[in-house]
Amino acid sequence: MPEDRPRTSKQPHAKELRKGRFSEIGRAYHITTTTWRRQPVFADLRPARLLICALISSDRLGHSETLAFVVMPDHLHWLFVLRDRALKDVVGSMKSITAHRIGGRIWQPGYHDHAIRRDEDLRNVARYIIANPKRAGLVDRIGDYPHWDAAWL
């Protein structure tokens, strides 16, 4: 995943991330998006909870079905099934809602998406996502990190 690699001057530009992007209703996607200049916006409880509320809102509106997520201090991993909108619209709406509620510039343009292949194990993808805080050294045990969910596991 891009957020696990050292940053280089050759990071993809937002328009390069869109190349080959395809939205398919009913397909599961793993989205990774980062905060503006990798600022640790979500290290604080209130912004992290506002982001989580935006994910829940997307589900309630029928745009997505969240399978797992983790809100890291400077990025989000979100595994969901696309329901009734284009992928760019679901992610754009989530970014817009959180930016409006939190205030100021929150997100880098673009996002990394991975369409989950039919033969991929969603549970393994979800486990990878929720283990992110442990791999980053933020906690010793996954369950100790407050901003994640994978209730369907």
Q: Are 133 and 142 in contact (CB under 8 A)?
A: yes
User: For residue 3, is pLDDT > 50?
Assistant: no
- Give the CATH number for residue 121: 3.30.70.1290
Within a domain: residue 7? no
Beta strands per DSSP E along 40-94:
64-71, 75-82
pTM score of the predicted model:
0.85
Within a domain: residue 102? yes
Task: Say what angle helices 87-102 and 45-60 make with each other, to 10 degrees.
Answer: 140
Phi, psi of 99 (to 5 degrees): -65, -40
Within a domain: residue 5? no
Domain span at residue 31 reads 21-146
Within a domain: residue 2? no
Within a domain: residue 1? no
Within a domain: residue 60? yes
Domain count, the chain: 1
Query: Could you report the per-residue pLDDT of 52-85, keeping only the tens digit for each?
Result: 999 999 999 999 999 999 999 999 999 999 999 9
Query: Could you report the per-residue pLDDT of 112-142, keeping only the tens digit for each?
Result: 999 999 888 999 999 999 999 999 999 999 9
Within a domain: residue 127? yes
Q: Is 30 left (phi over 0), alpha (psi -120 to 50) or beta?
A: beta
Residue 107: helix, strand or coil by DSSP?
Answer: strand
Within a domain: residue 13? no
